[in-house]
Structures are given as structure tokens and as C-alpha cells.
């Protein structure tokens, strides 16, 4: 997983479009969530299982840049990668491409933290060292960057 992304495919539904015939801006955040959950599951970190362990991962911020509008029935592929992780917080980036043309339509990122069921911060390295390592392994390290 290191230095790579996961891919999540979906088709745009009619109900996700607005009066202008394009995907309503709020739906991209939902698409990001679908892709993020898929990414986590693909590396063996199922959100449901994490929540059953008492770990919740709320969104702390969301950013989205709309480059090319998407319409009903468009098929897209979302490239998802973890770009920051320190055991307390993480950031995930997203790129949404049209499947048929490969055109980049949307970019974005979300920030997250790790909390227990009482909404208190969790230090993953201390409390869940195995999960910390698995998450650290998902981190995309920029080319030319050497970790100490």
C-alpha cells in the first residue's frame, strides 16, 4: 500500500444531480467518504470493526475543488490516498476521474482524528500499536522524502 492509492468506482445517480443537471456540490463529500471507507476496508481496517473497538474517526475538515462537472450516469473512479498520519490525526486526498475519458474532474482532501466513544482523543501508537503500524503503512511518502 505504501506510496500508492486505492481506486473506488461508482456511477452517478440521478438523485445526486441538481436543477442544472450536474452533481450537487454536497455529494462530492459523500463520494469522498465512500472512497475513504473502501480504502480502509481494502487494507483490513473496516470502519464497523474499528467502531466496535471504541475507535471513531470523525471528519475535522473537508476541502473540494470542482474542475469539471459530473452528470447523471457518468462513471467515475476515485483515487484515494492517505497523505498525513501521526497517530492522532490523518489526512486523506481524493482525485475523481471520469472513467471513459480519464479526465480529472474533482480534487479534495479530508482531515480526521481518532477518538474514543466518549469523544476523547486516542493516541493510536500507545493504545493500539498494531493498528498504528497498519495505518502508518498506508501513508503516502512523497518521492525523494526519507523518513528518519
Q: Which residues are marked as active site?
A: 18
Find all residues with CB under 8 Å of 142, minimum gap 6, and list them.
Answer: none
With a CB cutoff of 8 Å and minimum separation 6, the contacts of 71 are 12, 17, 21, 22, 23
Q: Give residue 125's Cα distance to chain centre.
A: 21
Helix (H, G, I), strand (E, B) or coil at 4: coil
Cell numbers found for residue 115: 477518538
> How many residues belong to the chain?
148
Amino acid at each position: 500500500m505504501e506510496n500508492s492509492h486505492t481506486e473506488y468506482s461508482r456511477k452517478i445517480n440521478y438523485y445526486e444531480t441538481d436543477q442544472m443537471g450536474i452533481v450537487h456540490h454536497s455529494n462530492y463529500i459523500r463520494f469522498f467518504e465512500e472512497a475513504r471507507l473502501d480504502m480502509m476496508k481494502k487494507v483490513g481496517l473496516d470502519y464497523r470493526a474499528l467502531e466496535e473497538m471504541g475507535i471513531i474517526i470523525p471528519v475535522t475538515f473537508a476541502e473540494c475543488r470542482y474542475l469539471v462537472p459530473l452528470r447523471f450516469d457518468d462513471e467515475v473512479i476515485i483515487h484515494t490516498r492517505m497523505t498525513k498520519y501521526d497517530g492522532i490525526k490523518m489526512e486523506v486526498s481524493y482525485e475523481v476521474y471520469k472513467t471513459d475519458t480519464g479526465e480529472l474532474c474533482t480534487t479534495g482532501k479530508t482531515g480526521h482524528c481518532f477518538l474514543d466513544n466518549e469523544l476523547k482523543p486516542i493516541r493510536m501508537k500507545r493504545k493500539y500499536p498494531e493498528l498504528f503500524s497498519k495505518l502508518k503503512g498506508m501513508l503516502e511518502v512523497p518521492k525523494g522524502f526519507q523518513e528518519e
